[in-house]
Each structure stands twice: as C-alpha cells, then as structure tokens.
Amino acid sequence: MALEMSHSLEAARKRLTDMQQYAESESGKPRTAKDSDTLIKQFGDEVEHWKKERKQSQPEGSVITTVGMPYTPCIKSMYELEKITLSELHTETHHRGKMLIVQRKSKLLFARAMVCAVVVDEVHCSWFPDSKRFPLTPGKTGDAEVLQLVHADTALGEDGLLPTDGLLVIKEPYFTFNNEKTGIILVDHPSDIVSIPISHILAPAESLLQHDGGLIEIKSATEWKTAGNKALGAKRYAKAINCYSQGLAAATPAVLDVRFDLYRNRAQANLCLERFDATLFDALSAVIGSEEATARDSKAYFRAAFATYHLRAFVDAKKHLERMLEPTPDDIDGARLLERTNLRLHEQATGDYDFPAITRNISTTNKRVDVADFFNKTELKPSAGRGRGLFATVDIKPGEIVVCEKAFCAVFDTDEHFIRTATYGARNQTITPYPYVLWKAAITKLHRSPSALSKIVALTGEWPGLGEACLKIDGTTIVDTFEIHDIVGRNGYASCTPSKQQADTIFGYCGYINETSGSGIWSYASYLNHSCVPSVERCPVGDLMIYRAVKPIAKGEELFACYDFLDGVENRHEEQERVWGFICDCMLCVAEVLESSETKAKRTKLVEAAKAFVDDHSLMPNSDQATVTRAEMLVKRIKSTYNDKKYEGVPRTAALELQYWLTRAYHHRKDSKRCLASTAEMFRMLAWKSVKLDAHNVILEPGKGSRLSVEAVMSLNWSRNSMVLDGKAGLSLKLSNKQKELYIMLNGVANGFPEIPVHLVA
Ligand SMILES: C[S@@+](CC[C@H](N)C(=O)[O-])C[C@H]1O[C@@H](n2cnc3c(N)ncnc32)[C@H](O)[C@@H]1O
C-alpha cells in the first residue's frame, strides 16, 4: 500500500485497516490495463491542479503518515531479472525475480511525500511482434501505469528523477493501490529503479528507433563536455552529471585531457548536489599530476578537500588542502578551508569548542553548525543486557563534556519542506514519535553519500531488513528504507529550532527540547543507553548535541542518558516498551516497582492536590502565611508516603513542584533563610548527597542515583537573589557560581545565564 497522510491517529488506523482489507481481497488478480493517452491526459490535469492547489493542500496541524508493510529492496542485478510487461502485473503483488522496462511519458507530480509519473512499456510502442502482450483495442494507444516513487531526492529535479531521455528499469515491481484504491506501481526503495540509456544492452533494440528525436545523436567526449558545461551553467546538475558520464564513456585514450576535464567538472556537479562520495571519487580521478597541470589539479584537490570536509574526514581534508596549497599557497579559498579544517581537528582532539562563537552564529535560518565531533573520552562496547553502550575511557568530572556530536541529519520546523507528521506503521500498528521528514532526510543523505550507510545500519532498529549489509548493485548503494524507518524510530532524538530568543533566555536551549520543534540522528550518541537517573544530560545547540556529565564518572563506567522521563513507573515503562522495546531497571525504577499500589494511589492523590495548589497560587506575592503553611503541610504529607529504606539514594520527586513553589514564596516574602533551606530540600529530594547550603558552605554533591532538574537550578537562582536582597553578597556569589556550574550541565552552554549585577555584589 502507498504512503498516505491522515489528520488523526484514529483516521490513520482506519485508513490502514481499510486498505489492508481491500488489498487482501484484490491480491493476485490480473491488473486491468489503462489506455495511455487517457491516463497521460488525466495525469497532466492532476499535475496542473496540484501545482495550483499546492498552497492550500499543505496539511494543517499535525498529520500522521501511514506506512504499509515493510519489504526488502531488490538485491539482484537487473541482468538476473526476468523481463515482464505492464500487462503481466498482478494486483497487490511483489513481482520478485521480475523487472519492467518502461519510459516516462508525463510530467512529474511532486506531491508532499512522493513523486509520481505515468510510464508506458514496450507494448505501447508495439515492439516485439512475438512477445506476450496486452491486446490493443483499435484506436487506443496502448497500456500505461502510474509510478509512485517514495523518498525521491527532489533536488535532482526533472532531469535527474526518472529521466525521459532513457529508459527506467523497475526491479521486482510492487503493484498495489493508492488511497483511491487505484492501481499503482509503488517504489519504496529508490534503488529499485535504475535509469538506463536507450542504447543499453537491456533496452529493446526498437527503442532506439522509437526515441523521441528519431535517431539518437552520437557525440564525442568533447561535445559531451560542452553539453555538460552548459547544463552546469544552467544549474541542471543531474543533466550535467549525465552528460559528463556519457563523455567519459565516449572518451578514448587519445583525448586524455578531456577525460580529466570531465572528471573535474563532474566533481563540481556532484558537489552542487551534495553527493560528496561521488565528488571525492571524481576529484581524485581528475588529478593529472604534471607540472603544467598545477592550476587544474589545484581545483581538483580543492573539490576533494571540500567533499572530505563535508564527509567529516578532517585529517584527509587537510592532506588534500596541503597538496593543493603546495604550489598555490596564496589561494584564498584553500587557505580559508585549511583554517576551518585545523579548527575542526582541534575540536575533535580536545573537545574545546568556542561556544560563544557557535551560538552567536545560529538562528532560525542558520541552524546547522560547522563543528567537529568529540568522542575521545568514550568508547563503544557491549553492555550486558542492553546490546552495546558507551563507556568512559577516563575519569570524568561533573560538568565536563562527555560527547559532542553534530547530527548525521537533523530537521527543524522552520525548514522549507518541514511537515509536522509522525509515521504510523502497518507492521506493529504504532506511531514513530519522529517526523516523517526526518526519515526522508536520513534516506536522502544516505543516497547522496552512501559511505555513511554502514554506521547508520549498525544502529538498533526493529525491522531487520538487509541488516548491516552495504550492497552496491547496478551502480547504486542499496538502502532499505523500512530498516531506516525503524532505526530513526529507535535512535531519533528530539531537538529544538534555534532562535535568537532561545540563545538569550534562561534555559533557552535546554528548555526548548520538550517542544520537539526539531529532531535528528546523532549516530554515535545513539549508543547511550537509558537510565532514569542518568550520568549525562544532553542539550542541542543547532544540530550539535552536547552531552555533559552530571555526576562523577569513573574510567570504565557505562554512561547513561535519560531518553524521556514520565512521572510514575508504569507510565514510563509503558512508553519505553512501546518506543524502544525495553523496560528500565535503574535504581529508581526498582524502588518504584517495589511499592504497594495503595501507597502509589495515596501519593498520586496528594500529587494531584499539590498540582491544583500550584495552579491556584501561581501569583506568588499574594501568598500569606496561612497559604504557605498549607503548602508546607502538603509537602510533608507527600514526603511521608516514601519509605526511607526503599528510596535510599534515589529521587523522591512527587513534592518537587510544590517545594519549588515554596522556594519562590519564601523569596517573595523576603524570607531568605527558608528560601535557601527549601532549595537544599529540593536537592535532597533529587537524591543529591552532602547537601549543605548555609552562610559557610555551598556544597552540593550528586549521588549515584541522583537527578538534576531545571527547577532545582532555578531554586538556586531564587536563593541567590534572596541573599542579594538580604545584603549577603558573599553567599549570593557562591550560590551564583554553583548555579552556573549546574546551569551549564543542563543547558550545554552558558547562554542566557542570569549573572548577578556587579553593583549588587560589589
Ligand atoms: C538508542 S539505542 C541504544 C544503543 C543500543 N544499546 C545498541 O546496542 O544499539 C536504544 C536501544 O538500546 C536498548 N536499551 C537502552 N537502554 C536500555 C536499558 N536501560 N535496558 C535495556 N535495554 C536498553 C534498547 O534495545 C533500545 O531500543
């Protein structure tokens, strides 16, 4: 079944069930032929309609994309497949071991999630008098079908996607239905379509004669180069690549120089399409190596370095740049790229980042940062009962950077083609909590630079698909898009869309995570396993994810992040099992699981009362003593529901929100002593040990089972301000310094931290 969108989970579920039942009832029936002229006309009208309506048809609010049953891509070469015609297709059938050879006969329809076109096959052209064929109705023009291509890289444009000047081989075609229950050929895996020239050995000989322009033109390598340069100048990159490739096929040893030019120019066209693996290959193939060719080689090395930089292989990028700059040391572009490369190498080796500069440059429009990754304090190893995990290779202090990683790919709601949609899968009937566009972005990136495939398919996902195999067949790397779907589901992280306000607001970066305005794949950090009492906290800055230690971590210890933290162990475990397929057994979960249901019920009731209290008393300055006493009593009652023994060393967070309310109330009532005591109490509730906050000491030590929360850090802020108002400058400064330490642990960077005005502490 095709990929479709619905406006609610219920609608998605209903649509999927309905389509599954229909598909089952139709499965295996012979396909009904479609008259090509009629279909092409109807489709043309639809393309025009879609173009006009595109604005209105943008989905409003959140939508759910339904995804049919997964199936693996074809892993046979087209030479091993048996050719069939459209007339031999059967409904709701994967035609394993078969292939269609078709030609596009319509414009492309760029719908939100896919690209469609009408294709015809050889029957239409009345070739092969002796072949099995659909009996043509007199006056009709032949058979045709709609092809629907999911996850196509739309940057390739009309030239690159389903080109019309050649033929298309659809490997192991899947004939199914669209939302209107009309038959379509659905291609979920882009590698299941291969474009071949009409002169290809598999193309029917008659197709040469049938070619639109009559006889095909035979061009020399130089003529292809000229045609390629023209296309490149017109920014028709896919067409340029095609011309240069044809030129390379036509180049004889007599025109060696042209051959180098073709590689160099194709490198540039590939670079414009962000196909960095191909750019690198072409650029290095273009290196001539003679003295007279210095200028041309300089260009080739620059392109190789640029591609390598974007493939994040900074050591290699530096090598290419040094070779480039050896004969041309004054080249400005080369020198600039070398400077950037050296900075990346420094970040990669030390974890020393210029965060003020990084955060200054990011905005709603500039969300992707130019930085290297830092992994040097960790290693990937097996983790008993949890697959693999990340382990510390050195002792790490609280606050230190543990991992810093730029996303393999990230999407933000301010991106041009962002659609706020999750996917709902037919296989396990669950929602993947990451947007459809993240799945698509990951697939596009893998198609553009397939060298990244091995690290992505090594990640955990439910649908095994092709596993960790990285196959290249018929010139294309095979990406199992369903496998990537599940990998995105298990490894995607919510992020945020950076903005100026975010950079300047208290907890601007950290606080935005919950809004899920962006998401991404950080493939190394993905190996962090979950704990509800984590040792690291994460915070996004653009598409960079910073992980800092929130407690001391000894060399050899496994690191844990918190994927999500819902109140109540049952809620948490239900979510963990549904989204990630595990149930946490951290110290906190064990303590909560062991509690009786009566205790939990009693506490839940009290927490509800506390929430209602906080909602009713959000205006702090009006709190009189009686109201404060009520809050204190309620905190006491909630705390009494915890069994000290069971909860030793783990957080008791049920009264945290109300305690935070008390901190603020004391501050407004100018009761600095109680304000500070309340802050200390919050840290105790979060299982911090050696909590001492008084005139002489500001000591807060995290424990093995402790958590850190925004409220606790903000509580320090109120205490600090209370002390300022009370004239206790020394203590307020100590509190402020501690607050800043903890603030950076959670927020990743110091941005937005409210320093005490200097004149108040002078
Ligand atoms: C993002 S991956 C983490 C890396 C993973 N362990 C691996 O080997 O690829 C998430 C998966 O790790 C496993 N996992 C994470 N935390 C766990 C925990 N506390 N207990 C058991 N399994 C866990 C689950 O299989 C989950 O789907």
> What number does the ligand 1 atom closest to the CA of 584 have?
19
CA of 262 to the centre of ligand 1 (A): 47
In the structure encoding, which two tokens stand for residue 566, read together?
A: 């819902």
For the purposes of burial, counting CB atoms within 10 Å of the CB of 393, is it exposed (0-12), middle (13-18) or buried (19 or more)?
middle
Q: Where are the beta strands (DSSP E) in 449-553?
A: 472-473, 476-477, 492-495, 518-521, 529-530, 536-541, 544-549
Q: Which of 210, 242, 260 is the last residue of a domain?
A: 210
Task: Please tell me if the CB atom of residue 312 comes closer than 6 angstroms to any atom of ligand 1.
Answer: no
Give dist(CA 718, CA 716) in Å, integer: 5
Residue 182 lies in a domain: yes
The rounded Cα 387 to chain-centroid distance in angstroms is 22
513 in a domain, yes or no? Answer: yes
The rounded distance, in Å, linking the Cα atoms of 407 and 369 is: 10
Please indicate, yes or no, whether residues 25 and 129 belong to a single structural domain of this protein: yes
Are 284 and 367 in a shared domain? no
How many angstroms does the Cα of residue 387 sit away from the middle of ligand 1? Answer: 6
Measured between alpha carbons, how far is 145 from 31 in angstroms, rounded to an integer?
10
Classify burial at 312, counting beta carbons within 10 Å of its beta carbon; exposed 0-12, middle 13-18, buried 19 or more. Answer: middle
Write down which residue in 183, 210, 237 finishes a domain: 210
Distance between CA atoms of 727 and 267, rounded to whole angstroms? 67
Task: Report how far ligand 1's centroid is from the alpha carbon of 488 (Å).
Answer: 14
| Cα of 529 from ligand 1 centre, angstroms | 5
Burial of 215 (0-12, 13-18, 19+ CB in 10 A): exposed
CA angle 355, 496, 450 (to 5 degrees): 85
Name the residue of 486, 488, 529, 585 whose CB sits within 8 Å of the most ligand 1 atoms, as the mutation to test its pocket: 529
For the CA of 459, the closest atom of ligand 1 is: 9
C-alpha 194/C-alpha 168 separation (Å) is: 6
Give the residue from 285, 330, 284 showing the smallest Cα distance to 306: 284
Mean pLDDT by 10 residues, the chain (762 residues): 65 82 92 91 88 60 78 97 95 97 91 87 49 40 89 87 90 92 94 90 68 61 96 96 93 90 98 97 96 93 98 98 93 97 98 95 89 98 97 98 97 84 81 85 96 96 90 95 93 86 86 74 98 97 96 98 92 92 96 92 95 89 87 97 92 96 95 97 96 93 96 96 92 96 97 84 61
Angle at 163 between CA 158 and CA 164, to 5 degrees: 105
Query: Do both 395 and 301 map to the same domain?
Result: no
Task: Classify residue 156: in a domain, yes or no.
Answer: yes
Which two structure tokens, joined as six digits, stand for 536? 């690291």
What pLDDT is attached to residue 516? 59
Does the CB atom of residue 523 touch ligand 1 within 6 A?
Answer: no
Query: Which of 550, 580, 610 lies at the terminal end of a domain, its last residue?
Result: 580
- Tokens 């020394």 belong to 730
Q: Which atom of ligand 1 is nearest to the CA of 491?
A: 1
490 and 380 within one domain: yes
CB of 90 closer than 6 angstroms to any ligand 1 atom: no
Pocket test for ligand 1, best of 582, 583, 585, 587 (most atoms within 8 A of CB): 582
Q: What is the pLDDT of residue 5?
A: 62
Ligand 1 geometric centre to CA of 530 (Å): 7
Is 446 part of any domain? yes
Q: Which residues constitute the domain of residue 254?
A: 221-350
Show the beta-strand stretches assigned E in 368-450.
Answer: 378-383, 387-392, 401-406, 409-412, 421-425, 431-435
Contact 285, 249 (CB under 8 A): no
Instruction: Locate 405 and state its tokens.
Output: 């990683």
For ligand 1, whether the C-beta of 527 sits within 6 Å is: yes
Probe ligand 1: pick from 560, 569, 580, 584, max atoms within 8 Å of CB? 580
Q: 3-state secondary structure string, 88-101?
A: HCECCEECCCEEEE
Question: If you take atom 22 of ligand 1, which residue's CA is the nearest one?
Answer: 386
Region of residue 454 (left: phi > 0; alpha: psi -120 to 50; beta: else): alpha
Q: How far apart are CA 344 and CA 316, in angstroms?
A: 12
Q: Does residue 576 have its Cβ closer than 6 Å to ligand 1?
A: no
Q: pLDDT tens digits, residue range 138-178?
A: 444 588 999 999 988 888 988 889 988 889 999 999 999 98
Report CA-CA distances (Å) from 583 to 319, 527, 530: 47, 17, 10
pLDDT digits (tens, 9 = 90+) for 673-721: 999 999 999 999 999 999 999 988 999 999 999 999 999 999 999 999 9
CA of residue 569 to ligand 1 center, whole Å? 18
Closest CA to 753 of 744, 356, 761, 547: 744
* C-alpha–C-alpha distance, residues 196 and 307, integer Å: 27
453, burial (CB in 10 Å: exposed 0-12, middle 13-18, buried 19+): buried
Considering only CA atoms, which of 387, 409, 391, 406 is closest in space to residue 456? Answer: 409
Going from the Cα of 422 to the center of ligand 1, the distance in angstroms, rounded, reads: 22
What lies within 8 Å, CB to CB, of 696 at 6+ separation is: none
Which residue stretches of 537-671 are H helix? 569-580, 587-593, 597-616, 625-639, 656-668
Residues 570 and 707 in one domain: no
Q: What is the pLDDT of residue 365?
A: 86
Kindly state if the Cβ of 524 falls inside 6 Å of ligand 1. no
What per-residue confidence (pLDDT) applies to 210? 53
Give me ligand 1 centre to Cα 580, in Å.
Answer: 7
Kindly state whether residues 493 and 530 are assigned to the same domain. yes
**505: which 2 tokens?**
């607001």
Tokens describing residue 365: 């429009």
Q: Is residue 64 part of a domain?
A: yes
CA 527 / ligand 1 centre spacing (Å): 7
Please report whether residue 466 resides in a domain: yes
Can you point out the beta strands (E) in 53-124?
63-67, 82-84, 93-94, 98-104, 109-110, 114-121
- How many angstroms is it from 60 CA to the middle of ligand 1? 34
Specify the CATH number for the domain of residue 129. Answer: 2.40.50.140
Read off the tokens for 470: 């990285």
For 396, which DSSP code? B
**118 and 245 inside one domain:** no
Listed residue (717, 721, 714, 718) closest to 686, CA to CA: 714
> Could you tell me if the CB of 388 is within 6 A of ligand 1?
yes
HSE-CB at 639 with a 13 A cutoff on CA atoms is 15
Q: Which own/partner pairs from 672-678 qualify as long-range (CB within 8 Å, at least 24 positions apart)? A: 672/719, 672/722, 672/723, 672/725, 672/726, 672/728, 675/718, 675/719, 675/722, 676/719, 676/722, 676/723, 676/735, 678/715, 678/719
Domain count within the chain: 4
What is the pTM assigned to this prediction? 0.91
**Is 200's C-beta closer than 6 angstroms to any atom of ligand 1?**
no
Q: How far apart are the first and last CA of the chain?
A: 70
CATH of the domain at 523: 2.170.270.10
| Ligand 1 pocket residue status of 387, Cβ below 6 Å | yes
Residue nearest to atom 13 of ligand 1 (CA): 386
Same domain, 251 and 283: yes
Q: Looking at the structure, do residues 127 and 238 belong to the same domain, yes or no?
A: no
- 619 and 740 co-located in one domain: yes
Give, for ligand 1, the residue of 460, 536, 538, 584 to mutate: max count of ligand atoms closer than 8 Å to Cβ.
Answer: 460
What is the number of the ligand 1 atom nearest to the C-alpha of 383?
6
- Give the Å distance between the CA of 352 and the centre of ligand 1: 29
Same domain, 603 and 548: no
Q: Provide the H-helix boundaries in 351-432.
A: 355-361
Tell me if residue 109 falls in helix, strand or coil. strand
Whether 389 lines ligand 1, by a CB cut-off of 6 Å, is yes
CB-ligand 1 contact for 386 (6 Å cutoff): yes
167 in helix, strand or coil? Answer: strand
Question: Is the shortest distance between the CB of 584 and ligand 1 below 6 Å?
Answer: yes
User: Are 508 and 748 contacting, i.e. CB atoms less than 8 angstroms apart?
Assistant: no
pLDDT at 241: 95
The CA distance from 227 to 244, in Å, is: 8
Look at the block and give the residue holding tokens 């307020």. Answer: 732
Q: What is the full DSSP assignment across 209-229?
A: HHSTTSSPPP--HHHHHHHHH
Q: Is residue 216 part of a domain?
A: no
**Residues 316, 381: one domain?**
no
Distance 584 CA to ligand 1 centre (A): 10
Q: Phi/psi of residue 692, each to 5°?
A: -135, 110
Is 276 exposed, middle or buried (CB count within 10 Å of its CB: 0-12, 13-18, 19+)? buried
Atom 7 of ligand 1, residue of closest alpha carbon: 388
Helices (H) and strands (E) in the chain, counts: 26, 28
CA nearest ligand 1 atom 23, residue: 386
Domain assignment present for 456: yes
Residue 7's alpha-carbon distances to 2, 58, 402, 429, 489, in angstroms, are 16, 12, 40, 16, 20
Write down the pLDDT at residue 216: 57
| Domain containing residue 261: CATH number | 1.25.40.10
Distance of CA 386 from the midpoint of ligand 1 (Å): 5
Q: In this predicted structure, what is the pLDDT of residue 549? A: 98
Kindly report the protein residue whose alpha carbon is nearest to atom 27 of ligand 1: 580
